[in-house]
Amino acid sequence: MALSRKKAGPAERALVRAPKIKRAAVSNLEAEMLRRVRTHENLSRVKLARQLRLAPSTAGAYVDRLIQRGFLTERRQTSREHGRPPSLLSLNPRGGSFVGVDFEARNIMATLVDFSQRPVRQVHKVIRTTDAADDVLRKIEDAIEELVEHNRNVLGIGIGVPGLIEPDTETALYYAHIADWQNIPLGKRLSNRFNVNIFIENNIRSMAMAELWFGEARGLKNFVCLGVRTGIGAGIVVRGQILHGRNNLAGEIGDWLCPVGSLEQVEGKDIAWRCDKLQPLEEIASVPAILQIMAAAMHRNGHSSSLTIEEVAEAANKGHAGVKEALGRVAQTLGWVLCQIDSLFNPQKIIVAGPLVGLGKHLLEPLESAIRRFGSEHHPETPAIAFSTLGKYNGALGAAALALNEWKPKG
């Protein structure tokens, strides 16, 4: 079902009749104004004009236009010691909405946010092990349809896509964990179905965007989000921008060969860590790998598919020695990985996102201990580690933020 578009109002028609104004330039400027209002609290017209190096009268004309079109609102500051209090700009929640979809091997998470980035509705769809690409695509479309059923003023849709992508052509290139997932023209298919702009990004990078706009990375310019789910990847943000790399492969670390080993103890204290072998990271620390390890520790061999992270956390809470020891081994490998990331990028913070966050202190404490053990003498300050607080819809929020920030009002 196609989504309706707003009809051009008097301001838009006047702009079309003004030959000296370049519509693309107007669109870019207004989009930047909206981004500034979105990221800066208590922003007045005067401050906005200064930030953009515009004459106050010029900035004011564009602000009036954005208010007229329903994208901005204005309110008087409540108090000021001297003089007339300035009017403060804010986003109008009714200016339109955006959909964010995040999916991986087993789950589709989708959310609808209003123009002020506030989540309005959420939808969860399960991907079965027997589902192929066409089945997954239909479930994605059904999730979007459920979200927009009672809200037709959708301005854009962002999709967090697992595996390899080509953002310029909005194509999903390859993902090993869904059958037939190769060279999917995802953007074209969804654009034809819903008649709005589609923006796609790797799903781990979408999780990083969620942290940048809503979570642990707010106010930061340089950080890394380590997403651990069916696969493992790193969303790298440098100077406030997502790092893609030459072939959109930046952060694809799931195949890194990483050490697997054990801790040596004396009188109950960890004194050294011995590397026994090397394995790809996803075979050690992805959610399926961890559940398989935990099933063995809990003597539930052959039943790892039914084991959940919540059950692992419950066993750790009860002091299950085998689970705690196994988590310690996983933490050693993850700690080694985070130290390599820190040496390479030296970020302000490394954020761990995904279901492993549910393990809480049972993973965080041995992880911090491992980082201190592996920390180089040339880097006396260990990296700041945080667990995401955004929950299971963090990637969907990031995909919605992608659409919201890439979208531009029509000039």
pLDDT of residue 61: 95
Q: What is the tally of helices (H) and strands (E) in the chain?
A: 13, 18
pLDDT of residue 154: 94
Name the average pLDDT for the chain: 88
Q: Which of 246, 219, 225, 229 is nearest to 237 (CA)?
A: 225
Residue 109 forms beta bridges with which residues? Answer: 102, 124
pLDDT band for position 81 (cuts 50, 70, 90): low
Q: 54: which DSSP letter? A: -
pLDDT in tens, 45-54: 999 999 999 9
Q: What is the DSSP string of 212-234?
A: HHHSTTTT-SSEEEEEESSSEEE
pLDDT in tens, 130-160: 999 999 999 999 999 999 987 779 999 999 9
pLDDT of residue 283: 95
Helices (H), 298-320: 309-317
Greater pLDDT, 269 or 99: 99
Q: What is the DSSP string of 154-197?
A: EEEEEEEE-SEEEGGGTEEEE-TTSBT-EEE-HHHHHHHHH-SE
pLDDT of residue 48: 95
Calculate what percentage of the chain has a pLDDT beyond 90: 72
Report helix, strand or coil for 114.
strand
Report the C-alpha gap between 227 and 131 in whole angstroms: 23
Tell me if domain 95-215+394-406 and domain 223-389 are identical in fold.
yes
pLDDT in tens, 201-249: 999 999 999 999 889 999 899 999 999 999 999 999 999 999 999 988 9
pLDDT band for position 20 (cuts 50, 70, 90): very low
pLDDT of residue 19: 45
If you search the block for the tokens 């052509």, which residue do you land on? Answer: 169
Q: Answer whether residue 200 shows pLDDT above 80.
A: yes
Report the C-alpha gap between 147 and 143 in whole angstroms: 6
Fold of 10-91: Arc Repressor Mutant, subunit A (1.10.10)
Report helix, strand or coil for 274.
strand
Residue 235 forms beta bridges with which residues? Answer: 225
pLDDT in tens, 313-371: 999 999 999 999 899 989 999 999 999 999 999 999 999 999 999 999 999 999 998 88
pLDDT of residue 375: 74
Pairing verdict, β 154-161 and 197-202: parallel
CA–CA distances in Å: residue 132 to residues 100, 110, 192: 22, 19, 21
Mean pLDDT is lowest, of 66-80, 159-173, 268-282, 344-358, for: 268-282
Report the C-alpha gap between 217 and 240 in whole angstroms: 10
Report the C-alpha gap between 65 and 280 in whole angstroms: 54
pLDDT of residue 267: 59
Q: Is 95-215+394-406 a CATH 2.60.40.10 domain?
A: no
Residues 64-87, mean pLDDT to the nearest whole number: 79
Residues 376-383, mean pLDDT to the nearest whole number: 67
Q: Residues near 300 by Cβ (< 8 Å), separated by ≥ 6?
A: 307
pLDDT of residue 82: 58
Q: What is the DSSP string of 14-37?
A: HHHT-TTS-HHHHHHHHHHHHHHH
If you search the block for the tokens 């896509």, which residue do you land on? Answer: 161
CA–CA distances in Å: residue 104 to residues 52, 204, 210: 40, 10, 16
Q: Answer whether residue 379 shows pLDDT above 90.
A: no
Q: Is 223-389 a CATH 3.30.1490.20 domain?
A: no
If you search the block for the tokens 């959708």, which residue do you land on? Answer: 154
Please state the domain extents for the chain.
10-91, 95-215+394-406, 223-389
Report the C-alpha gap between 281 and 145 in whole angstroms: 37
Supply φ then ψ for residue 40, to 5 degrees.
-125, 120
